[in-house]
Amino acid sequence: MFDWRMQLQQAWPIVGLLLLFIGSVFAHEKANEVELSASSKAAKLEACAAPTEDMRRNHMDYLFHKRDQTMYKGIRTADFSLRECIDCHVSRPVADEFVPINAKGEFCESCHEEVGQKIDCFSCHRSTPDEH
C-alpha cells in the first residue's frame, strides 16, 4: 500500500533544501539593494547623476574620469565629483552633523564591504561635507 506519511518523511530534506534555496535568492536580492540613508539628501531625489543601475556598475569609472578632468583641466562641475557624491549621500542625523560616508554601515562602506572591495579614497579625501 502506498504510504503518504512515509513519502512525506522522505521528502523533508528536499523540501528543506528548496526552502533554503528560495530564501537565499531573496537574501541575495536584498544584498543587491544599496540602502540610501534616510537622512541623506540622496534619499529625497529620484535618481543620481546617472540612472541608478548605471551608477551601481560604473560609478568608479565616472569618478576616475571626473577626477582627471578636474585635476588636469580644472573642470569643476558638479556631476560625478566625489565631493558632490559625499554631500548628497552622507547621513545627516542632526542638522550640520554628518556620519563619515565610509563608516560602518554607511553608503560607501556598506556596499564595498559586501563585495570585498577596499575603498582608498578617504585616506586623502574628506569623508564628510566641509561646511566651514
Helix residue ranges, H only, 45-116: 52-73, 82-89, 107-115
* Separation CA 96–CA 129 (nearest Å): 9
Nearer to other proteins, 85 or 111 (CB): 85
In the complex, the smallest distance separating the C-beta of residue 124 from other proteins, rounded to whole angstroms, is 3
State the Cα–Cα distance between residues 128 and 107, nearest whole angstrom: 12
Contact 70, 81 (CB under 8 A): yes
Q: Please provide residue 99's backbone torsions phi and psi, each rounded to the nearest 5 degrees.
A: -100, 125
* Nearest-approach distance from CB 113 to other proteins, in angstroms: 20
DSSP-derived letter for residue 99 is B
67 or 110: CB nearest other proteins: 67
Q: Which residue ranges make up the site for other proteins (CB under 8 A)?
A: 45-51, 67, 69, 71-79, 83, 86, 123-126, 129-130
Question: Of 1 and 124, which CB lies nearer to other proteins in the complex structure?
Answer: 124
CB of 9 to other proteins, least distance (A): 50
From the CB of residue 113, how many other CB atoms can be counted at a distance below 10 Å? 13
Residue 16 vs 76, nearer CB to other proteins: 76
CB of 94 to other proteins, least distance (A): 19
